[in-house]
Amino acid sequence: MNNKKEILNKVNNQQLLIGVVGLGYVGLPLSVSFAQENNRVLGFDKSEEKVLKVNSGENYIGDIQDEDLKSVVENDFLSATTDFSEMKNCDVVLICVPTPLDRFRKPDMSYIESACIEIGKNMKRGTFICLESTTYPTTTEHFMLPIIERESGLKHGDDFWLAFSPERVDPGNKEYFTKNTPKVLGALTGDGLEIGEAIYKLAIDHVHLVSSPRVAEMVKILENTYRLVNISLINELALLSGKMDINIWEVIDAAKTKPFGFQAFYPGPGVGGHCIPLDPFYLEHIAKKFNFDLTMIHTAGHIDMLMAHRMTLKVTSALNRHKKAINGSTILFLGVAYKPDIDDERESPALKIIDEVINKGGNVQFHDPFIPRINTPGNNQLKGVELSQDSLNNADCVVITTNHSEFDAGFIEKNSQMIVDLRNLIKTATDKVYKL
Amino acid sequence: MNNKKEILNKVNNQQLLIGVVGLGYVGLPLSVSFAQENNRVLGFDKSEEKVLKVNSGENYIGDIQDEDLKSVVENDFLSATTDFSEMKNCDVVLICVPTPLDRFRKPDMSYIESACIEIGKNMKRGTFICLESTTYPTTTEHFMLPIIERESGLKHGDDFWLAFSPERVDPGNKEYFTKNTPKVLGALTGDGLEIGEAIYKLAIDHVHLVSSPRVAEMVKILENTYRLVNISLINELALLSGKMDINIWEVIDAAKTKPFGFQAFYPGPGVGGHCIPLDPFYLEHIAKKFNFDLTMIHTAGHIDMLMAHRMTLKVTSALNRHKKAINGSTILFLGVAYKPDIDDERESPALKIIDEVINKGGNVQFHDPFIPRINTPGNNQLKGVELSQDSLNNADCVVITTNHSEFDAGFIEKNSQMIVDLRNLIKTATDKVYKL
């Protein structure tokens, strides 16, 4: 009980030292949000480069304003370290590490495991620990808790509290960011829930409490499974529509006039980013342990897995009309980010298409205003070219893979020999434009 | 051109006679909407009973106010007939006939076919014809047009116009009804589109034009496929959550706090009604002709097809804890309508569960405040019982299949021996309540 009183007192007096493990696109904005409300934050990362940048107030995350980071660092509310032993000074540890899939679409839990080991080794008694990384339900209870208790020799409930609260970062979203996106929180005990709520309220407008970490874990998976399933659905319907001479974008715009019971998703070359292509497969993984087959996720994943290949076939078909093959042709890809107006190419479908086109002997070029060079999953390293009359005109085929706002549809349409438009960037149908 | 001028003149002077074929839950509200705006409407139906009721101002559709129907009939704006030869007097024919599936989940086009034959035989030159029934893309062009031209000897474009505009009726919706739900319209020619828009604007606030009937046909299918897929997704996640000791309703409520990119769907015993269980399979049917396999619809249909059986297993498991079997037990179903607060049991999953429980030797009773008696797909005819302390207490198991607003969760919980709650009606978890 003393531990609980002590940490709640520190919350009330804003005397906490809040540790944030992982200074990426989740951890750094979260750190800045707490620091902006005059809480002291200590960021942990194994990357010396990131730590140096943070400590010199140099921003490297698109969703953070440069001056915001600079200001909290200058005012000593935020610093960073690679030294995990400093965790002994933290009252709170928030974990924002990656939870990727391996090449076999299985969860890679090594980052969470490693974070738990460091925390267990270094934490003090009375620490509130919360995982923000997306993972399968039961992770907090069955995966993290035993590691932390083993490494620390401490006992949950008496000596520390463990909770889960999923990050909901939507990169590039100008309306909703860390502070004004409601935060779901589930803890292993009532005390942990009460403490966690008090802490998050220091930086976040609305905290929504649920009855357990596993409910909170499932919340995030539901949100992103919903998106994967609906994107795969509309992609499949788009492919059929192409065969039936139906413009799927016109269909979606009309369906959107229904004032209830519909939410629009748009087709494209497949899902990308750090969440939608990954999260559902964390659930599929744990479901197996419960002897349960998640057929919707499986089917959605199946559709998505085929998209890059199907898009390559679109390029093949388009070139074929000009009596050309991919082999020997120059193909210019416009946009490699997984969504518009961000600089993130993780899991981007464009990279997979590029790999396949290179494998077929295509001479690939790309342009992305946010990404100067890429290294594809197939280990093809490319440097971007300029978007110019020449680069467009020299390409046998231009493929629009991301609809960045700054792409000028008229300019591209006018100067290209042939366009495969996977994002409906070119609204006017002309002979040289082939749609998804 | 004379035909076009003539019909547009009649629109402007509200001198049209608007024929509506099919006086069911779509056709009658549509008729009343036109009639309320002082347009003369003549309803056609093969059912003498419906025609007699309409002509005596007697309402039989839940979404229509009794006094609205009475008023338009008394003021001679609406009448009805079984005599299709009267169609020769109509300037407009709107088709609102059923498009069911047969027992093999294949489209039953006989109602549309029969309507087209009657129209072709009886129509006059210069008629605007529009189908509102949900059907697969290309129906208007490839299925209806040849029948009408053949039967009438008239030529489309010169002699009449054909269009498609999907009904969007949501039974029981108090906010959106015929007049204020935007209407999507696609026609075979520009003239047809212009005429159709002018006509629908007589009764409907907003008409959204699309480039072809097949786009409009696809719009409706997209809207309802979206619903089938998402309901099946949440049902599958609910079944897994049950195994993982996660309350899926709590998960959904928390996910709903995400202010972007999420729309909540709720689990239940499966989809029902006249749209969601049918429409996607119209698309699946035509897709085959294009050598295309709609895997998302197939998977969603597969999940839905298994729901009644899985729900029966829930009843079996619950009874098993009391050392009882379905065989010989009394099972009371609360709600047989496919959704709350309506009197429609078409395609309702409750009926399928009832059939399965009866087949297993259960003594089935049901109560539904809106439906006094049922005839199940398995041809079991049952009369509802009262919802009382006695009927609840006498049942070995009470199954909540529809969450009608008037069901009193506390009363049901208090007086039942055991409850299988498929709709999350009973919010407080007690020992005797088993959730989906």
**Residues of chain A found within 8 Å of residue B208, distances taken between Cβ atoms:** 254, 257
Quote the pLDDT of residue B57: 97
**Residues of chain B found within 8 Å of residue A252, distances taken between Cβ atoms:** 222
Identify which of A150, A147, A148, A146 has the alpha carbon closest to the alpha carbon of residue A160. Answer: A148
Say if residues B422 and B350 touch (Cβ distance below 8 Å).
no
End position of a domain, from candidates A148, A182, A211: A211
Please check whether residue B242 lies inside any domain of the structure.
Answer: no
Give me the CATH number covering residue B158. 3.40.50.720
What residues of chain B, 42 to 71, have a C-beta less than 8 Å from chain A? Answer: none
What is the per-residue pLDDT across A311-361, written as a single tens digit (0 to 9) for each?
A: 999 999 999 999 999 999 999 999 999 999 999 998 999 999 999 999 999
What residues of chain B, 227 to 256, have a C-beta less than 8 Å from chain A? Answer: 227, 229-230, 232-233, 236-237, 239-241, 243-248, 250-252, 254-255
Place of tokens 């006679």: B17
Q: Tell me, yes or no, whether A255 and A113 share the same domain.
A: no
In sequence order, what are the residues at sequence separation of 6 or more whose Cβ sits closer than 8 angstroms to the Cβ of residue A147? A113, A116, A117, A120
Q: Using the beta-carbon criterion (under 8 Å), do B182 and A247 form an inter-chain contact?
A: no
Q: Tell me, yes or no, whether A365 and A258 share the same domain.
A: yes
A310 in reach of chain B (CB within 8 A): no
Place of tokens 């002699």: B159
What is the per-residue pLDDT across A43-81, written as a single tens digit (0 to 9) for each?
A: 999 999 999 999 999 999 989 999 999 999 999 999 999
The pLDDT-based confidence of B406 (bands split at 50, 70, 90) is very high
Active-site residue, selected from the candidate residues B96, B116, B130, B275: B275
Q: Using the beta-carbon criterion (under 8 Å), do B251 and A206 form an inter-chain contact?
A: no
Identify which of B20, B143, B31 has the alpha carbon closest to the alpha carbon of residue B78. Answer: B31
Give A35 to chain B, closest Cα distance, Å: 24
Q: Which pTM value belongs to this model?
A: 0.95
Domain count, chain A: 2
DSSP states along A92-127: EEEE-----B-TTS-B--HHHHHHHHHHHHHPPTTE
What is the per-residue pLDDT across B324-347, written as a single tens digit (0 to 9) for each?
A: 999 999 999 999 999 999 999 989
Q: Tell me, yes or no, whether B77 and B192 share the same domain.
A: yes
d(CA B345, CA B189): 39
* Among A184, A245, A255, beta carbon nearest to B219: A255
Asked whether the CA dihedral B267, B270, B274, B280 is positive or negative, the reply is positive
Active-site residue, selected from the candidate residues A90, A116, A275, A397: A275
**Sequence-separated contacts (24+) of B119-122 with Cβ below 8 Å:** B119/B21, B119/B87, B119/B93, B119/B95, B119/B148, B119/B151, B119/B152, B120/B147, B120/B148, B120/B149, B120/B150, B120/B151, B120/B152, B121/B84, B121/B151, B121/B152, B122/B84, B122/B85, B122/B86, B122/B87, B122/B88
Q: Using the beta-carbon criterion (under 8 Å), do A173 and B215 form an inter-chain contact?
A: no
Q: At what angle are helices B2-12 and B190-200 packed, to 10 degrees? A: 10
Please check whether residue B174 lies inside any domain of the structure.
Answer: yes
* Among B218, B223, B251, beta carbon nearest to A258: B223
Quote the pLDDT of residue A430: 82
d(CA B199, CA B260): 37
Please check whether residue B64 lies inside any domain of the structure.
Answer: yes
Distances (CA, A) of A196 to A33, A65, A133, B247: 16, 27, 16, 21
Please check whether residue A221 lies inside any domain of the structure.
Answer: no
* Coil, strand or helix at A285: helix
Q: Tell me, yes or no, whether A144 and A271 share the same domain.
A: no
DSSP states along B369-426: TT-SEEE-TT--EEE----SHHHHHH-SEEEE----TT--HHHHHHH-S-EEESS---
Give B41 to chain A, closest Cα distance, Å: 26
The pLDDT-based confidence of B358 (bands split at 50, 70, 90) is very high
Q: Is A116 a catalytic residue?
A: no
Quote the pLDDT of residue B436: 85
The percentage of residues in chain B with a pLDDT greater than 90, rounded to a whole number, is: 94
Distances (CA, A) of A119 to A86, A123, A407, B322: 10, 5, 46, 47
Q: Tell me, yes or no, whether A165 and A262 share the same domain.
A: no
What is the per-residue pLDDT across A211-236, written as a single tens digit (0 to 9) for each?
A: 999 999 999 999 999 999 999 999 99
Q: Using the beta-carbon criterion (under 8 Å), do B302 and A295 form an inter-chain contact?
A: yes
d(CA B245, CA B1): 69
* Among A230, A287, A299, beta carbon nearest to B299: A299
Edge to edge, what strands does the sheet with B363-367 contain?
Answer: B363-367, B330-334, B397-400, B419-421, B433-435
Quote the pLDDT of residue A305: 94
Q: Tell me, yes or no, whether A185 and A256 share the same domain.
A: no
Q: Using the beta-carbon criterion (under 8 Å), do A241 and B218 form an inter-chain contact?
A: yes
Buried-exposed string A353-368: b where 16+ CB fall within 10 A, e elsewhere? bbbbbbebebebbbbb
Q: At what angle are helices A190-200 and A2-12 packed, to 10 degrees? A: 10
Q: Tell me, yes or no, whether A15 and A162 share the same domain.
A: yes
Cβ pairs bridging A and B (under 8 Å) = 181
Asked whether the CA dihedral A262, A267, A272, A277 is positive or negative, the reply is positive
- State the SS3 of A313-374: HHHHHHHHHCCCCCCCCEEEEECCCCCCCCCCCCCCHHHHHHHHHHHCCCEEEEECCCCCEE
Q: Using the beta-carbon criterion (under 8 Å), do A260 and B137 form an inter-chain contact?
A: no
Give A116 to chain B, closest Cα distance, Å: 24
Q: Tell me, yes or no, whether A136 and A281 share the same domain.
A: no
Give me A233's structure tokens.
């659905």
The boundaries of the domain holding residue A8 are: 2-211
What residues of chain B, 376 to 435, have a C-beta less than 8 Å from chain A? Answer: none
Q: Name the H helices within B21-144.
A: 27-36, 48-55, 66-74, 110-122
* Cα A387 versus chain centre, distance: 27
B176 in reach of chain A (CB within 8 A): yes
In sequence order, what are the residues at sequence separation of 6 or more whose Cβ sits closer than 8 angstroms to the Cβ of residue B153? none
Give me A276's structure tokens.
């939608």
d(CA A300, CA B222): 16
B306 in reach of chain A (CB within 8 A): no
Q: Tell me, yes or no, whether A278 and A150 share the same domain.
A: no
Interface test with B, best of A204, A227, A249, A258 (most B CBs within 10 A): A258
CA angle A169, A170, A173 (to 5 degrees): 125
In the predicted model, what is the mean pLDDT of residues B385-400?
Answer: 98
What is the per-residue pLDDT across A86-115, written as a single tens digit (0 to 9) for each?
A: 999 999 999 999 999 998 889 999 999 999
Q: Tell me, yes or no, whether A199 and A298 share the same domain.
A: no
Mean pLDDT of chain B: 96
Instruction: Assign residue B116 a region (left: φ > 0; alpha: ψ between -120 and 50; beta: otherwise).
Output: alpha
Please check whether residue A134 lies inside any domain of the structure.
Answer: yes
ipTM higher than 0.90? yes
DSSP states along B294-308: -HHHHHHHHHHHHHH
Does residue A172 carry a pLDDT above 90?
no
Number of Cβ within a 10 Å radius of residue A214 = 26
Please check whether residue A311 lies inside any domain of the structure.
Answer: yes
End position of a domain, from candidates A159, A185, A211: A211
The pairing of strands B183-187 and B160-164 is antiparallel
Q: Tell me, yes or no, whether A204 and A318 share the same domain.
A: no
Q: Using the beta-carbon criterion (under 8 Å), do B215 and A263 form an inter-chain contact?
A: no
Say if residues B335 and B420 touch (Cβ distance below 8 Å).
no
Identify which of A229, A420, A418 has the alpha carbon closest to the alpha carbon of residue A312. Answer: A420
Q: Tell me, yes or no, whether A259 and A182 share the same domain.
A: no
If you measure CA to CA, which chain B residue comes closest to A137?
B244
Say if residues A245 and B214 touch (Cβ distance below 8 Å).
yes
What is the per-residue pLDDT across B66-86, written as a single tens digit (0 to 9) for each?
A: 999 999 999 999 999 999 999
Quote the pLDDT of residue B1: 54
Distances (CA, A) of B410 to A26, B395, B436: 44, 17, 19
What is the per-residue pLDDT across A363-418, written as a single tens digit (0 to 9) for each?
A: 999 999 999 999 999 999 999 999 999 999 999 999 999 999 999 999 999 999 99
What is the per-residue pLDDT across B266-300, written as a single tens digit (0 to 9) for each?
A: 999 999 988 999 999 999 999 999 999 999 999 99
Q: Using the beta-carbon criterion (under 8 Å), do B244 and A175 form an inter-chain contact?
A: no
The percentage of residues in chain A with a pLDDT greater than 90, rounded to a whole number, is: 94
The pLDDT-based confidence of B123 (bands split at 50, 70, 90) is very high
Please check whether residue B224 lies inside any domain of the structure.
Answer: no
Please check whether residue B141 lies inside any domain of the structure.
Answer: yes
CA angle B268, B249, B416 (to 5 degrees): 65
Amino acid, res. A261? G
Does residue A1 carry a pLDDT above 70?
no
Q: Which of A267-281, B29-43, B187-201, B379-393 is predicted least confidently?
A: A267-281
End position of a domain, from candidates B190, B211, B232: B211
